[in-house]
Amino acid sequence: MQRRTFLRGTAAGAALAAAPVGGLLTATATAAPATVGSLDELRAAIDRARPGDRIVVADGTYTVPTGRPLAVRNKRGTAHAPITVTAQTRGGVVLDGEQSFVFEASRHITLSGFSFRQSSTLDIPPDCAHIRLTRNDFQLADIEGLHWLMVRADDSKVDHNHFHGKSTLGIYLGIEGAGESGMAQRVHVYRNYFSDHTFTGSNGGEPIRLGVSPRALSSAHAVVEYNLFERCNGDPEAISVKSSDNTIRCNTIRDSFGGIVLRHGNRTRVEANHLVAGTEGVRIYGNDHVVVNNYLAGLSGRALVIGSGSERDHVPGETPEARRGNDAADRVLIAYNTLVNNQGTLSGESQRPHEPRDVTVADNLLVADTGQLVAMANTVRFTWSGNLLWGAAADGNIPAGGGTRTDPKLVAGPDGILRPAADSPAIDAGTLRWPPVTHDIDGQPRGRFRDVGADEYSRRPSRRRPLTPADVGPQAV
């Protein structure tokens, strides 16, 4: 086994620290780092690590003894010189046993390329910050109730990982914070592949849970984007938002039971997501959300639900019982979405006493051949305008003047997505001028006169499309 070396305090060392596993360096290093080939050597290397160091672990299977995890304590990298611990090749280092890495009071640490197979939660605690988990494979022990990854540290990143193969109660990724009500700030979750959660219960198997009910009123400012979900059947909520001020955009949920649910919290933006050939769509509770540019097609459940509440609003100091209840959807903008060929298109709820209020439903494209296009329960001060309705499904109870029945002339592209043809009446038919919606679901400019639905007609190639496994996970570019 070779002795490990480090590059410290140089531009070459910083470039090496930032390089992906197996990737090319952008600067010429004076010496390539050697590998460590045992857990003891890895522990010693971590203990001595300084900003810019890169520790490479030789491929192999390592069983971490109970009570002797790989401790990352009081390690302080910097933004330009993180401390990186990486597998020799992506997925080539398997870590099993009860624990792998444990973190304490550390910043700017990157873990890359590992296959995590441990039997306890990998926890990123709130006394850390700027922790990055990238290009790892997560298939922890399939234990009832085990959550696989919990992130509680500010400014953390979870990117290009694969989470897969759970059949029991428990979530893949949870984001929380300090204490009982805090949320980690500015966590970025992107380019991950979540697949094959087969738990058959009705609750508790979310791929992503962004908060929890006691944290509902806490702002997180998290961004969840460009993630792919396939065969995620452990919960009706593939992305479960239970905090405030988040962005959920450009994700693809395909062939999954779960959808995007704003379960608790306020002021979240849901934009440019594809939900196709699954069951649940988008369900909305809470206040001041923006839901725009989403494409929902071929869902066997409810595509878009504007929720009622057991509470009018969640407020500070309310009882835990009240906080667990649903907050009625108020002051929500729902615009420029395409809902096509779903079992349930746009609907409300009547099982709770507080109806949604002051919601704007405008410039959406609603197409179906069964049921009703709009099936709302009680509402107060809703604004309906510019929606286009088509198909054999009945209009339902959309107010007069809230929509027009006309053939939108949709055509399928090479990616299977239905978009307006050149002569579609959806083109330039939008009625809203003020919303902050500058681009469509494909990343193309909206312009001054906006089209109805998620797509703005253009002869130019799309900048975005539904994600495939090649776009996400450890091996993606």
Q: Which pair of tokens denotes residue 250? A: 């450009």
CA atoms of 261 and 268, how far apart (whole Å): 11
Contacts of 477 (CB under 8 A, 6+ apart): none
The stretch 312-326 carries a mean pLDDT of 92
Taking only the tens place, the pLDDT of each residue in 423-476 is: 999 999 999 988 789 999 999 999 889 999 999 999 888 889 999 999 999 999
pLDDT of residue 17: 36
pLDDT of residue 426: 98
pLDDT of residue 435: 77
Among 3.30.43.10, 3.90.660.10, 3.40.50.2300, 2.160.20.10, name the CATH number for the domain at 121-471.
2.160.20.10
Q: What is the DSSP letter of 269?
A: E
Taking only the tens place, the pLDDT of each residue in 141-157 is: 999 999 999 999 999 99
The stretch 1-22 carries a mean pLDDT of 34
pLDDT of residue 69: 98
- Are the C-beta atoms of 194 and 158 separated by less than 8 Å? no
pLDDT of residue 156: 98
Confidence of residue 374 (pLDDT cuts 50, 70, 90): very high
Answer yes or no: is pLDDT of 315 > 90. Answer: yes
pLDDT of residue 449: 92
User: What's the predicted TM-score (pTM) here?
Assistant: 0.92
Answer yes or no: is pLDDT of 195 > 70. Answer: yes
- Write the CA distances from 3 to 37, 42, 58, 172, integer angstroms: 9, 11, 12, 36
Contacts of 139 (CB under 8 A, 6+ apart): 115, 116, 117, 163, 164, 165, 166
pLDDT more than 90, % of the chain: 89
- Write the CA distances from 69 to 110, 220, 257, integer angstroms: 17, 30, 36
Confidence of residue 32 (pLDDT cuts 50, 70, 90): low
Report the mean per-residue pLDDT for the chain: 93
pLDDT of residue 34: 60
pLDDT of residue 282: 98
Answer yes or no: is pLDDT of 184 > 90. Answer: yes
CA atoms of 292 and 456, how far apart (whole Å): 13
Strand partners, 61: 94
Answer yes or no: is pLDDT of 358 > 60. Answer: yes
- Lowest mean pLDDT across 22-26, 128-132, 148-152, 231-235: 22-26
The stretch 261-275 carries a mean pLDDT of 98
- Lowest mean pLDDT across 29-43, 75-89, 90-104, 220-234: 29-43
Confidence of residue 202 (pLDDT cuts 50, 70, 90): confident
**Residue ranges of the domains in the chain?**
121-471
Answer yes or no: is pLDDT of 242 > 70. Answer: yes
Identity at 208, one-letter amino acid code: I
Answer yes or no: is pLDDT of 28 > 80. Answer: no
